[in-house]
Every structure is written in structure tokens, then in C-alpha cells.
Amino acid sequence: MFVTVSAQIGKGAILVSASSNIGYNNLSPDNSSGYTILNVDLKAGYFVINNLTAGLNLGYSKIDDASVTSIGAFARYYIAGKFFAGAGFTSIKPDGGDSTTEIPIELGFAAFVTENIAIEPSVGYAMGDGYERFGLNIGFSLYFNR
């Protein structure tokens, strides 16, 4: 059962979020065959105006025997305090490799189970240096000072 909340998230609220893909991300570099990635992403943001948060994200991914860490900035806009669209800029560093950049975008829904806790399913797409990535994610977010 979901709690009914106001139609906006006010300026000054703080978002703390953790998410992961729930199954399959297909990464196909240079049109080669894809492989499965398991990842965990953390986000922290500040609502600079009503319904718009900006913040930082940190990620870790495991790809076969290799791992990748990432750090970046993001912005997310909420419609009716529940639906959101976001975009960002991320620097990615694979083990033993050179850093690259990625532009991720997401569309999702914040299903509030309490006034301050939401389960957030989303669809994500990212384009990087020589690859594209698409995935389904599920996140859990805390909203402080809402």
C-alpha cells in the first residue's frame, strides 16, 4: 500500500539513493556480442528548486572478471512528485584502463511507501565512448526535509 503525498518535492529537500540493475544490461561495444553487468549506484542530491534535484553519483560495476568505478554529476526533474526524468555526466575508470566519459539518462517512477521512502523502478540509457548501454533498474531512495 502506497502513501499519498504532495504533488511536489520542495526546495531544500535532500535525496539519498541506492540502485542496481535487476537483471540484464546489454553492453555492446562496437557492435560485438553483449555481456551481462551487475552494478550498484549511489546518489546524493539537493533540491535546488521545487521538483529539481542536482547532485553527485558514485558507482561500481562488475563485468566478468573486471570491475569499473564511476563518479559523476546528475540532475533529476520530478513531475507530480512521482515521475522523474534525469540526465548526467559520468567519468568511468576500469581496472587497469584509461578513464572515459558517459552521458546517462533515466526515466522512472518514485513509489512512496512512506512520506520519505520510495522504491524507484527506472529505465536507463547511456552513451559512452564507442558504446551504448540500456538497462532496467530498481532503486531505494530516502527524501529528507521533504
Flag whether pLDDT at 76 surpasses 90: yes
> Which tens digits make up the pLDDT trace of 11-45?
999 999 998 865 455 656 666 666 667 788 999 99
Highest mean pLDDT among 32-41, 43-52, 120-129: 43-52
Domain boundaries, the chain: 14-144
pLDDT at residue 5 in the model: 47
| Residue pLDDT, tens place only, 95-104 | 988 999 999 9
Mean predicted confidence (pLDDT) in 108-126 = 95
DSSP for 27-69, please give it: E-GGG---B-EEEEEEEEEEEEETTEEEEEEEEEEEETTEEEE
CATH of domain 14-144: 2.40.160.20
Beta-carbon contacts of residue 20 (< 8 Å; ≥ 6 apart)? 38, 39, 40, 41, 137, 138, 139
- The amino acid present at 83, given as its one-letter code, is F
